[in-house]
Amino acid sequence: MHTAVPHATLLAEQHKYVFPAVKPYFPDPLVLKEAHGVRARDDRDVEYLDLFAGILTTGVGHCHPAVVDAVREQVGRLGHTSTLYVTEPQIEAAKRLAAIAPGALQKTFFTNSGTEAIETAIMTARLYTGRTEIVALRLAYHGRSLMATSLTAHSPWRPLASPVAGFTHALSPYPYRCPFKQPCDDGCVERFASDVEEVIRTTTNGRPAAFIAETIQGVGGYIVPPHGYFQRVAEIIRSYGGLLIIDEVQAGFGRTGEHWFGIEHWGVEPDIMVMAKGIASGLPVGATIARADVADAWTAKTISTFGGNPISMAAMVATLDVMREENVPARATARGAQLRAGLEALAERFPWIGDVRGMGLMRAVELVRDPRTKEPDGKRAAALLSATREERVLVGLGGLFGNVIRIGPSMLITEEEMAEGIARFGRACERADRAAVA
Ligand code: PMP
């Protein structure tokens, strides 16, 4: 849609016609009108280098020509059928997922969002096991529905008091804020894993349906569990007869480098895996893939009118083609190493950068008032976010205290573009440093 509505009118109308719970970044929100590759342009014709990719979603860049062509072609041929009819694009997309998903994951149910894909995963685990209770992690984010907000463990993202029962939360395996030992080391894995077992023993009936976790806690601020963690929790949940559900909504599709999915770094095969965001370059696709016997346990009727629609599926297949041709896992490893080195150099300069973490092209810096006390510094993070806008680079905010800056650009970003992004982010850090001094 090409409009020339004045900036102030647009914001006034957003205020009037859109739920206020939808809170864009910045007091004077950015109005984006066009984007290609890693560049986005606002309504005042200012160009930004996009290092957040619509929350890690335009994984092969904005408006990739191959994806645009696939959508154009499909929308002019067959735009909608519902799941009452079989379509080639949906089967092709499901086959592609089965080919790259770890282990025995084979059958997929397509929806329109990560939230719905999570709902599908929980329902499937409950149907397969005949049990209800689910163990999740504190600082998890799994979506915005009644159920998913109960599963999510961030008070700001929980509008109601646990509207759906049956969820319980173990400690977040958060090395920077490890409650057991500082610095956290491999010995802490057993302690974090023991907490999962204790939660099963003390807060469930001892017969959990599943354990669910993001491979890297996204909204939590790119928290990477220590080596060995997923191996241990997989053993524990299975020893209690429950399934392992892995949420790859943010970490999937090459984002963490080297592999297609984050969980592969731990060498663990989930029973159910959930994907969305980068799967179709921004077309609304959520996917829940399960082992065949697990998927087959759902015998009641179900339908998703829009889920797996031919246009979204065509975008997904085209996205996966580009990802394979461009070898995005290897690119994410290379550009991720460059980004990490850049962020670590900034951490040397600015003592308020308490932690640099992440994997591949999913990297974060956690801001603190004092590196010894690690007191979260949400104010500095807000100042830094504003400063990034001044420097014309887009990044994200996260963490329970809003004190984590998240970076996750298109995985097709070039070395030069990444260098430019790091330089701009560095200048934003200088501004944020001065702002706090002033
Ligand atoms: N899981 C994770 C890990 C997410 O980051 C998100 C979205 N931020 C969701 C699930 C929910 O996805 P959606 O917003 O598409 O419903």
Q: pLDDT tens-digit profile of 225-267?
A: 999 999 999 999 999 999 999 999 999 999 999 999 999 999 9
Per-residue pLDDT tens for 12-43? 999 999 999 999 999 999 999 999 999 999 99
Is any atom of ligand 1 closer than 6 Å to the C-beta of 113?
yes
Is any atom of ligand 1 closer than 6 Å to the C-beta of 114?
yes
Please give the number of the atom of ligand 1 that sits closest to the Cα of 276. Answer: 15
Distance of CA 148 from the midpoint of ligand 1 (Å): 9
Please give the number of the atom of ligand 1 that sits closest to the Cα of 55. Answer: 8
Is any atom of ligand 1 closer than 6 Å to the C-beta of 143?
yes
What is the assigned CATH class of domain 66-326?
alpha beta
Task: Supply the DSSP symbol for 193.
Answer: H
Distance of CA 346 from the midpoint of ligand 1 (Å): 29
Percent of the chain at pLDDT > 90 equals 97
Per-residue pLDDT tens for 140-172? 999 999 999 999 999 999 999 888 999 999 999
Per-residue pLDDT tens for 111-149? 999 999 999 999 999 999 999 999 999 999 999 999 999
pLDDT of res. 163: 86
Instruction: Examine the pLDDT at 416 and tell me if it is beyond 90.
Output: yes
Region 179-193: what's the mean pLDDT? 95
pLDDT of res. 162: 83
Residue 143 to residue 116: CA distance in whole angstroms: 8
Q: How confident is the model at residue 336 (pLDDT cuts 50, 70, 90)?
A: very high
Instruction: Examine the pLDDT at 1 and tell me if it is beyond 70.
Output: no
Query: What residues does each domain of the chain span?
Result: 7-63+327-437, 66-326
Q: How confident is the model at residue 410 (pLDDT cuts 50, 70, 90)?
A: very high
Residue 397 to residue 410: CA distance in whole angstroms: 17
Is any atom of ligand 1 closer than 6 Å to the C-beta of 396?
no
Distance of CA 144 from the midpoint of ligand 1 (Å): 8
Instruction: Examine the pLDDT at 186 and tell me if it is beyond 90.
Output: no
Closest by alpha carbon to 287, among 24, 106, 71, 139? 106
Q: How confident is the model at residue 426 (pLDDT cuts 50, 70, 90)?
A: very high
Region 187-198: what's the mean pLDDT? 97
Distance of CA 89 from the midpoint of ligand 1 (Å): 24
Instruction: Examine the pLDDT at 207 and tell me if it is beyond 80.
Output: yes
Q: 141, 149, 283: which to mutate for ligand 1, most atoms within 8 A of CB? A: 141
Sheet hosting strand 134-137, strand order edge to edge: 105-111, 286-291, 272-275, 243-247, 210-214, 134-137, 167-170
| Torsion from C-alpha of 360, 31, 385, 257, nearest 10 degrees | 0
Which amino acid residue places its CA nearest to atom 13 of ligand 1?
A: 114
Q: Angle at which helices 378-390 and 415-437 pack, to 10 degrees?
A: 130
Question: What is the bridge-based pairing of β-strands 243-247 and 272-275?
Answer: parallel
Q: How confident is the model at residue 436 (pLDDT cuts 50, 70, 90)?
A: low
- Multiple choice CATH, 7-63+327-437, 3.90.1150.10, 3.30.460.10, 3.10.20.30, 3.40.50.80: 3.90.1150.10
pLDDT of res. 98: 98
Which amino acid residue places its CA nearest to atom 12 of ligand 1?
A: 114
Is any atom of ligand 1 closer than 6 Å to the C-beta of 141?
yes
Is any atom of ligand 1 closer than 6 Å to the C-beta of 115?
yes
Map residue 191 onto helix, strand or coil. helix
Instruction: Examine the pLDDT at 102 and tell me if it is beyond 90.
Output: yes
Average pLDDT, the chain: 97
Region 60-88: what's the mean pLDDT? 97
Is any atom of ligand 1 closer than 6 Å to the C-beta of 142?
yes
Q: 52, 55, 58, 142: which to mutate for ligand 1, most atoms within 8 A of CB? A: 142
Region 62-76: what's the mean pLDDT? 98
Region 339-344: what's the mean pLDDT? 98
pLDDT of res. 437: 60
Q: How confident is the model at residue 435 (pLDDT cuts 50, 70, 90)?
A: confident
Report the largest interatomic distance among the alpha carbons of the chain, rounded to a whole angstrom.
Answer: 64
The HSE-up count of residue 175 (CA atoms within 13 Å, CB side) is: 20
pLDDT of res. 2: 55
Is any atom of ligand 1 closer than 6 Å to the C-beta of 217?
no
Region 196-206: what's the mean pLDDT? 98
Structure-token match 């961030």, residue found? 154
Distance of CA 185 from the midpoint of ligand 1 (Å): 29
